[in-house]
Structure 1
Amino acid sequence: MLEMEENTRHETSGLTGAEVRERIEDGRVNAYVQKASRTYSEIIRSNVLTRFNAVLGGLFLVVIILGSINDALFGMVLILNSLIGIIQEIRAKKTLDALSLISAPKAKVIRDGSQTEIPYGQVVVDDLLVLHPGDQVVVDGTVVSSEGLEIDESMLTGESLPVSKGIGEGLLSGSHTVAGTGRYVAVKVGREAYAQELADKARKFSLSKSELREGIDRLLKWIFWSIVPVAVLLFYSQVRAGLSIHDTFIGTVAGIVGIIPQGLVLLTSIAFAISVITLGRQRVLVQELPAVEVLARVDVLCVDKTGTLTDGTLQTCEAVELEEGFDMSSILGAICSASVHKNPTIAAIEVNYPDPHWQLTGSVPFSSERKWSYAGFGEHGHWLLGAPEMLMEGKVHSDRISETYESYAKKGYRVLMLAKSDSAPAGIVLPESILPVALVLIAERVRQDVAAAMKFFREQGVAIKVISGDNPSTALSVARRAGIVNGGGSYDVRFLPEDEREVAEIMESFDVFGRVTPYQKQKMVKALQSKGHVVAMTGDGVNDVLALKDADLGMAVGSGVAATKSVARIVLLDGKFATLPRIVAEGRRLIANIELVANLFLVKTVCVMLIDLVTSVTGMPFPFLPRHLSLVSEITIGIPAFFLALAPNIRRYKPGFVGRILHFVIPTGSIAAIFTMASFYMALNGGASLEESRTAATLTLLLSSMWVLIILARPLIKLRILLVSSMNILMVMIFVVPFMRTFFALDFPGYRILGISGILTIISVAAIETYWRLRIRNKA
Structure 2
Amino acid sequence: MAKRNDVPRRSSRSFGAIVRANVLTLFNLVIAILWLLIMIFGEWKDGLFGLVIVANSLIGIVQELRAKRTLDRLAVVNEAPVRVRRDGSEREIAPRDVVLGDLILVGPGDRLLVDGEVVASEGLEVDESLLNGEADPIHKEPGDQVLSGSFVVAGSGAFTATKVGADAYAARLTAAASTFALARSELREGVARFIKYITWLVVPIGALLIYSQVGHHADFGIAITGAVAGIVTMIPEGLVLMTSIAFAVGVVRLGRRNCLVQELPAIEGLARVDVLCLDKTGTLTAGGMDLGDVLPLRDGEPVEDALAALANADPRPNPTAQAIQARYPSAPPGWTARHRVPFSSARKWSGADFDDHGAWILGAPDVLIDPGSPAYAEASALASTGARVLALCRTPGLDGQSGQGGEAVALVTLTQRLRPDAQETLAYFAKQGVTVKVISGDNPQAVSAIATALGIPGGDKAVDSRTLPEDDPDKIAEILDANTVFGRVTPHQKRMFVGALQSRGHVVAMTGDGVNDVLALKDADLGIAMGAGSPATKAVAQVVLLENRFATLPYLVGEGRRVLANIERVSNLFLTKTFYAITLSLLTGLIGLAFPFTPLHSTLVNALTIGVPAFFLALAPTLQRAEPGFVPRVLRFAVPAGVACAAAVLLSFWVAHIPASTLEQDRTSAVITLFLVTWWVLVLVVRPVTAWRIGLVAAMAGLFVLALTLPFVQDFFAFDPGDLYDTLIAVGIAAVGAAVISLAVKLTPPLGPRR
Superposed pair shares fold, TM > 0.5: yes
What is the Cα deviation at residue 710 of structure 1? 2.0
Counterpart-to-counterpart distance in 2, 1:52 and 1:467: 48
What is the Cα deviation at residue 503 of structure 1? 4.2
Native 8 Å contact 2:6 2:96 kept in 1: yes
Q: Which runs of 5+ in 2 are unaligned?
A: 131-139, 342-349, 355-359, 395-406
What is the Cα deviation at residue 201 of structure 1? 11
SS at the partner of 2:290? Answer: strand
Counterpart-to-counterpart distance in 1, 2:201 and 2:364: 76
Return closer, same or farther for 1:456/1:38 CA change in 2, 3 Å cut-off. same
C-alpha root-mean-square deviation of aligned residues, in Å? 4.8
Deviations, residues 652-708 of structure 1 (Å, cap 9, x unaligned)? 122222222222222222222222211111111122211101001101111121122
What is the Cα deviation at residue 81 of structure 1? 1.1
Name the aligned partner's letter for residue 596 of structure 1: R
Partner of 2:344: none
Aligned with residue 700 of structure 1, among 670, 673, 689: 673
SS at the partner of 2:413? Answer: strand
Aligned with residue 455 of structure 1, among 403, 417, 427: 427
Partner of 1:464: 436
Name the aligned partner's letter for residue 105 of structure 1: A
TM-score (norm 2): 0.79
Q: Are residue 222 (structure 1) and residue 194 (structure 2) matched?
A: no
Return closer, same or farther for 1:772/1:738 CA change in 2, 3 Å cut-off. same
- The 10-residue stretch of structure 1 (278-287 or 718-727) with the greater mean CA deviation from structure 2: 718-727
Partner of 1:255: 230
Aligned with residue 630 of structure 1, among 595, 599, 603: 603
Q: Are residue 119 (structure 1) and residue 94 (structure 2) matched?
A: yes
Counterpart-to-counterpart distance in 2, 1:45 and 1:445: 50
What is the Cα deviation at residue 725 of structure 1? 2.4
Return closer, same or farther for 1:246/1:551 CA change in 2, 3 Å cut-off. same
Return closer, same or farther for 1:532/1:672 CA change in 2, 3 Å cut-off. same
- The 10-residue stretch of structure 1 (721-730 or 629-638) with the greater mean CA deviation from structure 2: 721-730
What is the Cα deviation at residue 77 of structure 1? 1.7
Total equivalences in the alignment:
703
Return closer, same or farther for 1:441/1:664 CA change in 2, 3 Å cut-off. same
Partner of 1:528: 501
SS at the partner of 1:578? Answer: helix
Counterpart-to-counterpart distance in 1, 2:592 and 2:144: 86
Partner of 1:298: 273
- The 10-residue stretch of structure 1 (606-615 or 459-468) with the greater mean CA deviation from structure 2: 459-468
> Who wins on radius of gyration, i.e. which is larger?
1
Native 8 Å contact 2:263 2:542 kept in 1: yes
Return closer, same or farther for 1:403/1:655 CA change in 2, 3 Å cut-off. closer
Deviations, residues 685-742 of structure 1 (Å, cap 9, x unaligned)? 1222111010011011111211222222233322222222221221121112222111
Partner of 2:683: 710
SS at the partner of 2:550? Answer: coil
Q: Which runs of 5+ in 1 are unaligned?
A: 1-20, 158-164, 324-330, 375-384, 420-433
Q: Are residue 287 (structure 1) and residue 262 (structure 2) matched?
A: yes
What is the Cα deviation at residue 517 of structure 1? 3.7
SS at the partner of 1:659? Answer: helix
Q: Are residue 680 (structure 1) and residue 653 (structure 2) matched?
A: yes
Partner of 2:544: 571
Partner of 2:288: 313
Counterpart-to-counterpart distance in 2, 1:480 and 1:727: 53
Counterpart-to-counterpart distance in 1, 2:311 and 2:217: 100
Partner of 1:381: none
Return closer, same or farther for 1:440/1:64 CA change in 2, 3 Å cut-off. same
Deviations, residues 310-366 of structure 1 (Å, cap 9, x unaligned)? 45522345677999xxxxxxx999x98999889655754787x899xxxx9988589
Partner of 1:422: none
Counterpart-to-counterpart distance in 2, 1:477 and 1:201: 46
Native 8 Å contact 1:412 1:473 kept in 2: no
SS at the partner of 2:217? Answer: coil
Deviations, residues 511-567 of structure 1 (Å, cap 9, x unaligned)? 42534244x544443332222221222334454444333322222322334444333
Matched ranges for 1:380-395 at <5 A:
none
State the identity as a percent.
41
Counterpart-to-counterpart distance in 1, 2:508 and 2:469: 20
Matched ranges for 1:160-309 at <5 A:
174-175=151-152, 184=158, 186=160, 204-309=179-284
Matched ranges for 1:143-162 at <5 A:
none
Partner of 1:738: 711
What is the Cα deviation at residue 111 of structure 1? 2.4
Counterpart-to-counterpart distance in 2, 1:559 and 1:389: 24
Partner of 2:45: 70
Matched ranges for 1:546-561 at <5 A:
546-561=519-534
Counterpart-to-counterpart distance in 2, 1:69 and 1:190: 56
What is the Cα deviation at residue 610 of structure 1? 1.6
SS at the partner of 1:497? Answer: coil
Name the aligned partner's letter for residue 583 of structure 1: L
Q: Are residue 404 (structure 1) and residue 375 (structure 2) matched?
A: no
Return closer, same or farther for 1:762/1:337 CA change in 2, 3 Å cut-off. same
- The 10-residue stretch of structure 1 (684-693 or 129-138) with the greater mean CA deviation from structure 2: 129-138
Q: Are residue 514 (structure 1) and residue 493 (structure 2) matched?
A: no
Native 8 Å contact 1:271 1:646 kept in 2: yes
Counterpart-to-counterpart distance in 2, 1:285 and 1:466: 24
Native 8 Å contact 2:375 2:408 kept in 1: no
Return closer, same or farther for 1:130/1:322 CA change in 2, 3 Å cut-off. closer
Native 8 Å contact 2:448 2:461 kept in 1: no
Counterpart-to-counterpart distance in 1, 2:11 and 2:238: 26
Matched ranges for 1:336-735 at <5 A:
344-345=319-320, 348=323, 403-409=377-383, 413-415=388-390, 440-468=412-440, 479-480=451-452, 484=456, 485-492=458-465, 496-511=469-484, 512=486, 514-518=488-492, 520-735=493-708
Native 8 Å contact 1:339 1:365 kept in 2: no
- The 10-residue stretch of structure 1 (291-300 or 398-407) with the greater mean CA deviation from structure 2: 398-407
Counterpart-to-counterpart distance in 2, 1:690 and 1:666: 29
Return closer, same or farther for 1:404/1:197 CA change in 2, 3 Å cut-off. farther
Return closer, same or farther for 1:699/1:199 CA change in 2, 3 Å cut-off. closer
Name the aligned partner's letter for residue 413 of structure 1: R
TM-score (norm 1): 0.77
Partner of 2:80: 105
Counterpart-to-counterpart distance in 1, 2:173 and 2:425: 30
Return closer, same or farther for 1:341/1:610 CA change in 2, 3 Å cut-off. same
Counterpart-to-counterpart distance in 1, 2:208 and 2:683: 34
